[in-house]
Amino acid sequence: VPGADAVAAAQCTAHDYTDPGKPRIAWNDEQARAELVDALVTDALRLLGHLPGQQLGERAANAVGILALVAGQDVEPAEDSDGRDGRWRITRGTAPNRMVSTVDPEARHVHKTRSHQQDGFKAHLAIEPETGLYTAVALRPGAGPEHHEAAVGLELLADEDTPLDAFGDTAYSTGDARQTLHEAGHQLFIKPAPLRPAVPGGFTLDDFTIDTTAALVTCPAGHTVALSDPGGQHHQRKAIFGTLCTGCHLREQCTKARAGRILTSRPHHDLQTAARRQAATDPGWQTEYRRWRPPVERAVAWL
């Protein structure tokens, strides 16, 4: 970026940026780390704010954009800051679609499980389990809804011109993916994601009678309320039990909310409910899933 060297020399003082190593601080000192984060973000903002106004080429414009993104994606105003005094700290949580490398801007941070995290890309595979042949592959950034397993899985099967028996684990069990594959005529052996009760060990969605056509929901205690029309960004429907939960003998198994249980139904509810029921009760489905999932796992391990 033309003129950036002079601006950096005058404005950036948190670290010796000619030194390729980490800043020289006591990394086990929480206060020292906090002060370094604040100083580094301040340096980046000063540099961006003092760059000379000029038309930039693509490479220079990308460099400026990446600096602005990286400087702000993982920080928030300091605890006692009003957001205007230029003091910063590391934010809690992970920024959506977080960039992890200025050298490879497409790489992303991956949370595979709560304990397994990595940076980079994920490989997606379609495998013919009888032969172990890979029929389609894709390499995608590790985060972002467009790179989710279910979204990429649909792409891997998009060129199939005959119905298939499609096997997959819970990552591929979204409602949208099921609907698309079902409409394409495929027979699905995709493991449904488990339901999480609102109260540990308590009732799940499947313990309620949910009639999406009549827009009615009946709870395990026999109370029936209306199911709302779809609304919000995710087109969810809600059933509000409210005061019906007062004094209910099953309340402790159902909700901890003071205002009573609010049940949320997502798009493709009926399709997902049927899939959970089939996986739990259909011996034929269970046999096929147990038979063909291990060869797929072995093929993944070989790769």
Question: Does residue 99 sit within a domain?
Answer: no
Q: Are residues 160 and 44 both part of a single domain?
A: no
Is the pLDDT reported for residue 13 higher than 50? yes
For residue 10, the enclosing domain spans 4-90
Residue 93 gets which letter from DSSP? S
Q: At residue 170, what is the residue type?
A: T
Label each residue of 103-122 as H, E or C: CCCCCEEEECCCCCEEEEEE
Q: Is pTM beyond 0.75 here?
A: no
Predicted confidence band of residue 300 (pLDDT cuts 50, 70, 90): confident
Average pLDDT score, the chain: 86
Question: Does residue 245 sit within a domain?
Answer: yes
Q: What is d(CA 242, CA 295) in angstroms, rounded to the nearest whole number?
A: 49
Is the pLDDT reported for residue 116 higher than 50? no
Q: What is the DSSP string of 134-181?
A: EEEEEEEES-SGGGSHHHHHHHHTTT--S--EEEE-GGG--HHHHHHH
Selected residue with higher pLDDT from 142 and 115 = 142
* Phi, psi (degrees; rounded to nearest 5) at 196: -110, 120
Selected residue with higher pLDDT from 240 and 28 = 240
Average pLDDT of the segment spanning 50-70? 87
Is the pLDDT reported for residue 146 higher than 70? yes
Question: Does residue 47 sit within a domain?
Answer: yes
Percent of the chain with pLDDT over 70: 89
How many domains does the chain divide into? 3
Q: Are residues 83 and 9 both part of a single domain?
A: yes
Q: What is d(CA 161, CA 191) in angstroms, rounded to the nearest whole number?
A: 24
Is the pLDDT reported for residue 104 higher than 70? no
Q: Are residues 294 and 186 both part of a single domain?
A: yes
Q: Are residues 137 and 174 both part of a single domain?
A: yes
Q: Mind listing the pLDDT tens digit for each residue in 151-183?
A: 999 999 999 989 999 999 888 999 999 999 999
pLDDT at 155: 93
Question: Does residue 112 sit within a domain?
Answer: no
Question: Does residue 101 sit within a domain?
Answer: no
Selected residue with higher pLDDT from 102 and 112 = 102
Burial grade of 196 (CB within 10 A; 0-12, 13-18, 19 or more): exposed
55, 73, 90 — which closes off a domain?
90
Q: Are residues 223 and 253 both part of a single domain?
A: yes
Q: Are residues 224 and 167 both part of a single domain?
A: no
Q: Are residues 176 and 297 both part of a single domain?
A: yes
Q: 109 Cβ partners below 8 Å, 6+ apart?
A: 94, 98, 100, 117, 118, 119, 142, 143
Average pLDDT of the segment spanning 214-238? 95
Q: Are residues 184 and 218 both part of a single domain?
A: no
Least confident of 3-7, 89-93, 292-296: 89-93
Question: Does residue 196 sit within a domain?
Answer: no
Is the pLDDT reported for residue 118 higher than 60? no
Q: Are residues 161 and 209 both part of a single domain?
A: no
pLDDT at 299: 76
pLDDT at 108: 59
Question: Does residue 133 sit within a domain?
Answer: yes
Q: Are residues 169 and 276 both part of a single domain?
A: yes
